[in-house]
Structure 1
Amino acid sequence: MKKHLILAFSLLVSQRAFPDTALANSFWGVAAKYAGINVATLYGIAVHESGMHWSDGSFRPWPWTLNVNKGNEGVQAGPRRYASRQAAEAALVDLIKKGIRNVDVGIMQVNLYWHGDKVENETDLLDPRTNIRVAADYLKDLKTNRNITKTVSDYHSPSNPARGIDYVGKIKRYEKIINEKIK
């Protein structure tokens, strides 16, 4: 609990400490600073994990995303996007009732099995800010080695380094695009 209070406090830190860009001066920037990573890296992870084309033509993260990693009870594995938080919550509750917990949830695709204990109610992971905070907390824990490549690799696939390195390459491509757009 104390760890989460520290996280909540640090997320309230003055935004004046960040460079003058819209992304850095947003909740994304605060969470990235807490995690000790570049804001483009954090946002790049979200874009890769839950990105979709929006009606305005942009490609941005979508918070009402679930990805079933291993299905059972007649539920197939794979990604799912929902039109609203309520629809995503209903689907998540249904998956949990069926005993399916290996589900990536929300904007940062936080895994319910590994990180569901970080929230009071598992459906709280569908709140974008809560989801980003849990992801930032995990990234901060992973960053103890000070190697951002390993941190990002382990965020995706801590037990499969080859898969993690492929993931890092994808995030770096998004970072480049994000950095070009916010300058």
Structure 2
Amino acid sequence: MPDTALRRHCHGLHIWIKQILLCGLLALPQPCFASEARADPHHICDRAADQASRSSGVPLEVLLAITRTETGRRRNGQTQPWPWTVNMEGHGLWFQSRAEALAYATRHQAGGATRFDIGCFQINYHWHGAAFASLDAMFDPDTNARYAAAFLTRLQGELGSWDAAAGAYHSRRPEHATNYLARYHQQLAALDTPATIDTAPVADPRPADRPNRFPLLQSGAAASAHHGSLVPRLTGGARALFRHM
């Protein structure tokens, strides 16, 4: 290669390497969940539900209906789940980002609040927070969904059906479970067309024999057996209303 061409080639390679390094440096400060911000949040819970269904054996439609019952809001004529949802002691809020939802929950936890629900499947901090490494971990959609699936599996084994498990997921009180199941069945019926959901692409599905990593849900553990609900029991069976933040 002539000297001039070689110099041009090396100069171009040098610029290319600098660009690669610059992109890497710019990416370093980004939070670990930066990819979630780029994704459409309306699909995050469905994809987490799909992963959890594959690893746990819980029917996908059960998880999809529950996440919509717990966090759903209307968009383009459909009810779609929202991952950055917090129900703080009966007051439900949709946040625009995970960081905002986490900051809100952290602030109230520091002030003494314990009865609040987090994420795609509205895991209750008071009853189930000890199973997670942190509040941030509770907001992780995949972790949130796997815990919900493990809890539903335990309830189904105890009660004998996925319908009964879905009712007890909300409350052990029959009147509250019945009201919840009515909303759950509405969401279940709305899932009868593939266009309703978007679970693809799903990368790196977890193996079906994935071990239960939640000590509170392991056989024989003193978990919340007497507290079947993952959400607060509202007096009179009332349902919390959500508003945007």
1:49 to 56, 70, 73: 70
Aligned partners of 2:186 and 2:94: how far apart in 1?
Answer: 23
Aligned partners of 1:59 and 1:153: how far apart in 2?
Answer: 20
8 Å contact kept, 2:86–2:101? yes
Residue 37 of structure 1: SS of its match in structure 2? coil
Distance change (3 Å), C-alpha of 1:38 and 1:179: farther
Aligned partners of 1:89 and 1:36: how far apart in 2?
Answer: 30
The code of the aligned residue for 1:37 comes to: V
8 Å contact kept, 1:105–1:111? yes
Which blocks of at least 5 consecutive residues in structure 1 are unaligned? Answer: 1-24, 70-76
Taking structure 2 as the reference length, the TM-score comes to 0.56
Aligned partners of 1:129 and 1:27: how far apart in 2?
Answer: 5
Aligned partners of 1:116 and 1:33: how far apart in 2?
Answer: 24
Report what 2:164 is aligned to. Answer: 150
Distance change (3 Å), C-alpha of 1:27 and 1:84: closer
Aligned partners of 2:187 and 2:161: how far apart in 1?
Answer: 19
8 Å contact kept, 1:40–1:179? no
1:96-145 deviation line (CA, Å, top 9, x unaligned):
10111100111111101111112111221111111111111111121113
What are the residue-to-residue correspondences of 1:1-183 with 2, within 5 Å? 26-54=47-75, 56=76, 58-69=78-89, 77-145=90-158, 146-158=160-172, 160-181=173-194
Report what 2:228 is aligned to. Answer: none
1:32 Cα offset (Å): 2.5
8 Å contact kept, 2:156–2:162? yes
Aligned partners of 2:56 and 2:181: how far apart in 1?
Answer: 17
8 Å contact kept, 2:138–2:144? yes
The code of the aligned residue for 1:83 comes to: Q
Aligned partners of 1:153 and 1:35: how far apart in 2?
Answer: 19
Taking only the aligned residue pairs, the percentage that are identical comes to 26
Aligned partners of 1:104 and 1:68: how far apart in 2?
Answer: 7
Which blocks of at least 5 consecutive residues in structure 2 are unaligned? Answer: 1-45, 197-245
1:52 Cα offset (Å): 1.4
Aligned partners of 2:105 and 2:190: how far apart in 1?
Answer: 32
8 Å contact kept, 1:31–1:133? yes
Question: More relative contact order in 1 or in 2 (CA 8 Å, sep 6+)?
Answer: 2
Aligned CA RMSD, in angstroms, stands at 2.1
Greater gyration radius:
2
1:79 Cα offset (Å): 0.3
Distance change (3 Å), C-alpha of 1:34 and 1:150: farther
8 Å contact kept, 2:119–2:138? yes
Taking structure 1 as the reference length, the TM-score comes to 0.74
